[in-house]
Amino acid sequence: MRFSANTGFLYRELPFLERIGAAAAAGFDAVEFHDEAQREDPGALAGALAAAGLPVLGLNVRMGETAGRAAIPGAEAEARADIDAAAAVAGAVGAGAIHVLSGRAEGDAARAALVGNLRHALGRFPGTVLIEPICRAANPGYFLSSLDQTLAILAEVDHPRLKILFDCYHVETGDGDCLGRFRAALPHLGHVQIASLPDRAEPTGGRLDYARLLPAMVGAGYAGAFGCEYRPSEPPAAMLARLRARLAPESR
């Protein structure tokens, strides 16, 4: 199994470029970004990635105070500028995906704005475009709040490169039955993220048993990396070593 360090959560005490080297030193197989990369010098970012030898799996569009704005009616021009900026950085660093955040909004106008902006993203970026259901408990008012709603958006846009970012923390908190939901949505999944419940700490404790859940996901057909997007209470290297030890066949 491959594990990706989410730099928006891990190593927050370090400057952004130093987080990439820290992830490599800890033994992660890849990195994924929130929207930090759009604020860095492209040459310096490319140099840090080359030195670390880690691929970039994906990055977020600009988040801001509204956690994105792709579903905010009247903000289409700004949302599309955010998408274009993320696509440019993703292309420069070889990231395979961009995550288009909907922001806090509701109603039919919000849905129409999101659908239009996703079609714009698919036209501007040749890789995977991700959308993520974020549970109400974590982000009240966020437009995409359930897996069923997210699947309905995929059906409306109807494009093979539009995929779901399946965050186990959000799905289990908002929908329940994480593994069952995963299996049902598997053909539409582009990336999986992990953290513990209920506190979003290391994915080595809490209500979700990842030592059983991750092998079940791989067994169901998931071949991607698992993004570690959690609030660390210890060095991430220690968590990663412990998680891999628990996943070793002889430990199960």
* CATH number reported for the structural domain that contains residue 227 in this entry: 3.20.20.150
Q: Which domain holds residue 115?
A: 3-208+218-251
pLDDT at 156: 98
The whole-number pLDDT of residue 102 equals: 98
Number of folded domains in the chain? Answer: 1
31 within some domain: yes
pTM for the whole structure: 0.96
- Assess if residue 213 is contained within a domain: no
pLDDT at 249: 74
Inside any domain, residue 154? yes
User: Is 23 among the domain residues?
Assistant: yes
pLDDT of residue 248: 86
- Is 229 one of the annotated active-site residues of the chain? yes
Active-site annotation holder among 32, 36, 172, 229:
229
Catalytic residue among 32, 36, 132, 172: 132
Are the C-beta atoms of 208 and 168 separated by less than 8 Å?
A: yes
pLDDT at 251: 57
- pLDDT for residue 250: 56
| Cis check: omega of the bond before 198, within 30 degrees of 0 | yes
In a domain, 63, yes or no: yes
**Mean pLDDT by 10-residue block, N- to C-terminus, for the chain (252 residues)?**
97 96 98 96 94 97 97 98 97 96 97 98 98 96 97 98 98 95 97 97 95 97 98 96 88 54
Please say if 202 is a catalytic residue.
no
